[in-house]
Amino acid sequence: MPRSILPREGLTLEAIFVPVRLSLLQPLFTGSILLAIYQSPKLPLQWLSPDVLKFFQSPKALVSLGVLFGIGLLRKTNNVMSRLVLNNFTIDNTWDWTKEIVIITGGCSGIGALMVQRFAEKNIQVISLDVTPPPTPGLEVANHIRKTHGEPTVLINNAGIGTNKTILDETESELRRVFDVNIIAHFTLVKEFVPSMVRRNHGHVVTIASMASFLVHAQNVDYTCTKASALAFHEGLAQELKSRYNASKVRTSIIHPTWIRTPLIESLIRRRKITDLVLEPETVAEAVVNQVLSGYGAQLILPARLSIFSGLRGFPSWLQESMRNSVNRVLES
């Protein structure tokens, strides 16, 4: 397989699964084959050799195709239902990317900078907020944005920090800064920019969380607490928008990426501390930008194969603790 059609991460399970997803799990594909087989006496199938036709008409082949058709149909139905429910069964055709204004926190480096670049490449007005250098008070920044650019229609809460320290080693000031940046800022910015979205019933709030929303690592407790909180924030905001403010077209999305390649992660990889898939920053940035441009809200788990871990709290206690035990040395110096 040429490198050009592989994901940035190389030959991953996702890349291997693509041909299956695009063929055997497409109900239109498997359903068409089943229909052709059942209608074979009436259809000109001379182009199929007798052996091939006999194989497809065998009981095992028919059962296999039927199972694949059922799985594909359930998968499609699940995806459609998730999209409809998460977006309140509404369609918003008013997105005009020549007029939308996107705000990204933590937009001066990492994933945030990549998102800024991709929106800018599409000639979409994007504003970056970052803590370096220290900003003026939040209200003053918000007023300046509104006065200079207008009311933002997309807010991406991306900024995030951690200390990589144990609970006992972390200072109170470090702890408060992690919570201020990773979750308190979400509340502050939503208070400033979402009221205009509610008035127009148009907008999108994106929360960058993590797989840490579901699984805690020792020596990463502060960060994990804020990411679990970010998930609750996202879910609660969506509920309030539709049940308290009648803003069913203000979209909400949350993103849960696994490890992302950073200088810190590189050192962990070299020491064989991390053996799982590591995402490239560009992969995450593109996923977020594409979700925003779709005009719909969603919950994205990157890579999708890790979706099973979103239900970790429902696993048996012995299995939960075994999974936490398996990663409790990853961040150890």
Half-sphere exposure of residue 101: CA atoms within 13 angstroms, side-chain side: 15
- Determine contact, residues 256/309, Cβ cutoff 8 Å: no
The model's pLDDT over 290-309, given as tens digits with 9 standing for 90+, comes to 999 999 999 999 999 999 99
Q: 118 and 246: one domain?
A: yes
Claim to verify: residue 70 and residue 106 sit in the same structural domain: no
pLDDT given for residue 42 in this prediction: 53
- The last residue of a domain, from among 54, 86, 118: 86
* Residues acting as catalytic residues: 223, 227
- pLDDT 10s digits, 244-298: 999 999 999 999 999 999 877 888 888 878 888 899 999 999 999 999 999 999 9
Question: Same structural domain for residues 177 and 282?
Answer: yes
* Residues 163, 115 share a domain: yes
Confidence of residue 218 (pLDDT cuts 50, 70, 90): very high
To the nearest whole number, what is the mean pLDDT of the chain? 90
Give 135's pLDDT tier (boundaries 50, 70, 90).
very low
Residues 71 and 169 in one domain: no
Q: Comparing 8-12, 42-46, 151-155, 238-242, which segment has the lowest mean pLDDT? A: 42-46
User: Can you tell me whether residue 81 is helix, strand or coil?
Assistant: helix
* Residue 149, domain member (yes or no): yes
Between CA 316 and CA 313 the distance in angstroms is: 8
* CATH number reported for the structural domain that contains residue 151 in this entry: 3.40.50.720
Average pLDDT (66-88) is 95
Q: What is the pLDDT of residue 279?
A: 95
The pTM of this model reads: 0.90
Q: Are residues 71 and 107 in the same domain?
A: no
- CA quadruple 96, 98, 103, 107: dihedral, nearest 10: 130
Strands (E) across 106-182 are located at 125-129, 154-157
Tokens 């910015």, located at residue: 189
Structural domain includes residue 92: no
Q: Which of 204, 211, 258, 212 is nearest to 234 (CA)?
A: 204
Does some domain include residue 22? yes
Residue 34 tokens, joined: 């089943």
Q: How many Å apart are CA 91 and CA 326, to the nearest integer?
A: 43
pLDDT at 134: 44
Residue predicted with more confidence, 25 or 235? 235
Q: Which domain holds residue 111?
A: 101-326
Residues 301 and 237 in one domain: yes
pLDDT digit string, tens, across residues 110-125: 999 999 999 999 999 9
Q: Residue 60 — pLDDT band, cuts 50, 70, 90?
A: confident
User: For position 183, what pLDDT does the model report?
Assistant: 96
pLDDT-above-70 percentage for the chain: 92
User: Distance of CA 216 to CAs 220, 265, 315, Å?
Assistant: 7, 17, 15
pLDDT on residue 275? 80
